[in-house]
């Protein structure tokens, strides 16, 4: 059984797809800079969800979007477009910036062994669909025009406050001071922005007789409508998406189709670094490249992420990353051991593990149980498949020559030729191998 915490109902619910194929949408990155390790946590948690569904024999269609237009620096409708900002910073065109950071993101994605989505949807490939969507919402009476763009009238959607339990009256009162006058309600948002004369905005499309570009929230509703042709089973994102971005996605989708966007909504929490927010001013905006420079592989980081729960606030420290790395080395050595001696393993263990993870993706508990259970090589293969940790690939058998050295060392020990045994040990150390002497004979292990 798979139980997931559904933000829409605020409870743990049993998950079953509505049809044969599980339809999943993941809010993706805005591609204007490198992803930091906080940004990457979401894709790691959702990768576990995908892998778990796969192991449970579900067919999956997943769409991940890449935001290359329209996401302003603020969550509201003011400020610079993030892509324009990236282009100004780097002296490149917005399209060059987007291409560059899409590549960088996909490199991280692959380095983390994340299952590729069936569809990678680039926002600028859906502009015609965005325009159709705005037309549709307007036809259905959900929008109004201002000098600044086309706005969604949130008062027209009776359930607007429901998803995030918003206090709309409080929002309205709080916003009164800075209210521009043209916006009817504080929670209204742009579905299309007009480019004012003299305003610099390289990405522009003609709509309503003027140049403009889509509001950030629009792409997700449009892409889902276009790619799935109906509501989906699971929508994922970060907790910060709940009050604005996902609330607006739901409103737009309803205005376009009269339907509920998704049955399940999953949100992962933020990580802190040394108990502080990730921010440029603190100099803690680490990327995977920064971790590599300090001697940690993307798999060590994935191990760290999965050792906690997606809904918990996590505190990242390099000590805890070191612990994750050590744990992974320990697992690799247990894999090596399982290939050298017969392990008396419980044949029901994988089923037990799937039940643990099936309880709202409890990888933290699953890891603890793995730490304390004897496992066969076949079981390790399944575990590797389930978490995508490259455990088997990074645990190769030693060469025949090295194996011969291990045997020669044992011979020397038996003959009480300890000088020779120590010499061989040094040779093995240079090859990154150590030997543990056990009651079942010598067992080789990796040093790193
Ligand atoms: P940003 O580029 O900072 O707007 O972040 C993009 C997305 O990454 C956000 O919408 C969050 O969902 C996610 N994110 C940002 N910071 C963190 C963090 N510290 N921990 C987890 N997720 C984060
Ligand atoms: Zn989205």
Residues 237-294: pLDDT tens digits? 999 999 999 999 999 999 999 999 999 999 999 999 999 999 999 999 999 999 999 9
Read off the pLDDT of each residue in 307-322 and give the average, rounded to a whole number: 97
| 57: three-class secondary structure by DSSP | coil
Alpha carbons 179 and 186: distance in angstroms, whole number: 7
Q: What is the DSSP letter of 249?
A: H
Residue nearest atom 6 in ligand 1 by C-alpha distance:
39
- Could you give the dihedral angle defined by the CA atoms of residues 370, 372, 378 and 383, in that order, rounded to the nearest 10 degrees? 0
Could you state, in order of their start, the residue ranges of all structural domains in the chain? 3-268, 273-387, 400-446
Query: Which residue has its alpha carbon closest to ligand 1 atom 5?
Result: 39
Q: Which of 7, 33, 45, 238 to probe ligand 1 with, by most ligand atoms within 8 A of CB?
A: 238
CA atoms of 202 and 66, how far apart (whole Å)? 18
Q: Which residue has the higher pLDDT, 49 or 173?
A: 49
CATH code, residues 3-268: 3.40.50.620
Predicted confidence at residue 178, as pLDDT, reads 56
Q: Which ligand is nearest to the CA of 268?
A: 1
pLDDT at 180 over 70: no
Q: Which two tokens stand for residue 15?
A: 């998950």
As for ligand 1, residues whose beta carbon falls within 6 Å of it are 30, 38-39, 41-42, 238, 240, 270-271, 278
In the predicted model, is pLDDT for residue 166 greater than 90?
yes
Predicted confidence at residue 395, as pLDDT, reads 98
Selection from 244, 198, 194, 246 nearest residue 224 by Cα: 246
CA distance linking residue 443 with residue 339, whole number of Å:
10
d(CA 240, CA 132): 28
Which atom in ligand 1 lies closest to the alpha carbon of residue 29?
6
Per-residue pLDDT reduced to its tens digit, 362-417: 999 999 999 999 999 999 999 999 999 999 999 999 999 999 999 999 999 999 99
User: Within 13 Å of residue 394, how many CA atoms lie on the same side as its CB?
Assistant: 21
Name the average pLDDT for the chain.
96
Asked if residues 334 and 375 have their Cβ atoms less than 8 Å apart, the reply is: yes
Residue 179's pLDDT band (cuts 50, 70, 90): low
Alpha-helical segments (H) within 72-228: 82-90, 94-111, 127-139, 168-175, 218-228
Looking from the CA of residue 273, the nearest atom of ligand 1 is 19
pLDDT band of residue 177 (cuts 50, 70, 90) is low
Q: How far is the CA of 27 from the centre of ligand 1 (A)?
A: 11
């Amino acid at each position: 059984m798979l139980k997931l915490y559904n933000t829409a109902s605020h409870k743990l619910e049993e998950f079953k797809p509505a049809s044969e194929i599980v339809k999943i949408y993941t809010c993706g990155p805005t591609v204007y800079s490198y992803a930091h390790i906080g940004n990457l946590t979401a894709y790691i948690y959702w990768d576990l969800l995908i892998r778990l569904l796969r192991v449970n024999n579900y067919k999956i269609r997943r769409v991940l979007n890449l935001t290359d237009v329209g996401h302003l620096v603020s969550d509201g409708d003011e400020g610079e477009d993030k892509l324009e900002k990236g282009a100004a910073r780097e002296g490149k065109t917005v399209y060059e910036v987007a291409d560059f950071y899409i590549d960088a993101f996909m490199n991280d994605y692959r380095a983390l062994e994340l299952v590729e989505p069936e569809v990678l949807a680039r926002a600028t490939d859906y502009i015609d669909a965005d325009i159709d969507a705005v037309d549709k919402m307007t036809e259905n009476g959900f929008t109004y025009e201002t000098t600044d763009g086309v706005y969604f009238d949130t008062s027209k959607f009776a359930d607007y406050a429901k998803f995030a339990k918003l206090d709309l009256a409080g929002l309205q009162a709080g916003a009164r001071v800075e209210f521009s006058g043209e916006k009817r309600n504080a929670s209204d948002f742009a579905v299309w922005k007009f480019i004012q004369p003299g305003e610099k905005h390289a990405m522009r499309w003609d709509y309503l007789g003027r140049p403009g570009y889509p509001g950030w929230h629009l792409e997700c509703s449009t892409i889902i409508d276009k790619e799935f042709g109906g509501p989906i089973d699971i929508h994922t994102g970060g907790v910060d998406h709940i009050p604005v971005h996902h609330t607006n996605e739901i409103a737009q989708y309803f205005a376009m189709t009269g339907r509920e966007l998704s049955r399940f909504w999953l949100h992962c929490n933020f990580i802190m670094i040394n108990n502080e927010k990730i921010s440029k001013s603190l100099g803690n905006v680490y990327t995977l490249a920064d971790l590599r420079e300090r001697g940690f592989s993307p798999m060590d980081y994935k191990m760290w992420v999965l050792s906690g729960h997606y809904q918990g606030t996590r505190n990242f420290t390099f000590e805890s990353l070191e612990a994750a790395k050590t744990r992974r080395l320990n697992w690799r050595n247990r894999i090596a051991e399982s290939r050298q001696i017969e392990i008396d393993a419980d044949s029901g263990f994988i089923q037990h593990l799937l039940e643990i993870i099936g309880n709202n993706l409890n990888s933290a508990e699953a890891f603890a149980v793995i730490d304390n259970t004897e496992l066969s090589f076949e079981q390790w293969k399944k575990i590797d498949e389930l978490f995508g940790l490259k455990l088997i690939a990074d645990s190769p058998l030693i060469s025949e020559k090295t194996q011969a050295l291990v045997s020669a060392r044992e011979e020397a020990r038996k003959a009480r030729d300890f000088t020779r045994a120590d010499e061989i040990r040094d040779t093995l150390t240079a090859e990154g191998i150590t030997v543990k002497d056990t009651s079942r004979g010598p067992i080789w292990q990796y040093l790193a």
